[in-house]
Chains A and B, each alone.
Chain A
Amino acid sequence: MTGIGDDPTGCRARDPDDLVGRVRPYTITGGRTRTAGIDLPVEALLQRTERGERALPAARMERRRILELTVEPLSVAEVTARVGVHLGVARVLLGDLAAEELVVVHRPPSTEGTNQLDLALLERVLDSLRAL
């Protein structure tokens, strides 16, 4: 477990005002700043599972908000912005929910192997943009 003082993200408190803003985000995550091995690129789509739906009534605060929002597929970035937390915090929370199988993560194809998007996908993006 990582304490605030040796926070690898470097978001350390500087002044009293700051302290509120700095400490609070990672209090939500129990002080953790890393997810447990779940890859969550900013564009990955999250959707709550049936189990997540069942867990909703008992869920509190940010977890509840995430489970409410992910009734339809929503990106990590959108969830982060709408819940109003830092990206690092959101990733920890989402990693937990994914590990508990309350949300399912749909990753873009490119992050599951090479860094290269396949040509057919690029061509589809191109055609769709032209049709806009």
Chain B
Amino acid sequence: MAPEPDEIVPIPVKIIVAGGFGVGKTTFVGTVSEILPLTTEAPLTEMSRGVDDAGRRTGKTATTVAMDFGRITLGADLVLYLFGTPGQARFQFMWDDLVRGAIGAVVLIDTERLADSFDAVDYFERLGMPFVVAVNTFDGIRRHRLADVREALALAETIPLGYCDARDRASTRDTLIGLVQHALLQATT
């Protein structure tokens, strides 16, 4: 089918979903995406190689890093892309490229492996990019008080922090809404 000459091309916008391996990024993206999450691979640099991940403990060093993405159509002229990216500093070579022009980022955390999220929090803080921190409640159980999580992450009071069930559509949507609200607030103050 040939494209209509005056067909509306939507404006693409994006949100980054960052977090450690196995924290639920792919689930988060898949829950709200209207397409099955697709994976794009980018080659790893020498520096960033050498550590395995939760889903790939095969003993073989990965030579690429996977980036999940999903899509949400927000009307005929607006489309939102979600990009899930590994949250460790050694993937920073990817982030600089990926985050350019993003609305902001959701840093997804697992309270059992809090340290996995330090790099991402530091990165978005330094960049001044709007971000929110979402504690993924894998089994619906809230194990830690948010105040304790905030303290452990040394997270400023101004950064929104909340629970999110990455398997639940309303919950992931609300997390995205929280981020966009925060981005608006940050842009106007």
Contacts and interface: CB of A to CB of B under 8 A. Distances in A.
Interface residues of A, number: 47
Interface of A: 9-12, 14, 18, 21-22, 41-45, 47-48, 53, 71-73, 75, 77-78, 80-82, 86-88, 106, 108-111, 115-117, 119, 121-126, 128-130, 132
Contact of A121 (B11, B32, B67, B176): B11
Contact of A122 (B12, B39, B100, B180): B180
Q: On chain B, which size bracket covers the interface?
A: 35 or more
A9 B43 contact: yes
B59 to A, nearest CB: 13
Given A9-B45, A86-B42, A124-B74, A71 B10 contact: no
Given A9-B45, A47-B3, A42 B173 contact: no
B42 A88 contact: yes
A86 B44 CA distance: 11
B54 interface: no
B64 A86 contact: yes
Contact of B81 (A12, A42, A48, A73): A42
A66 B39 CA distance: 17
B55 interface: no
Interface stretch (B108-116, B149-157, B181-189): B181-189
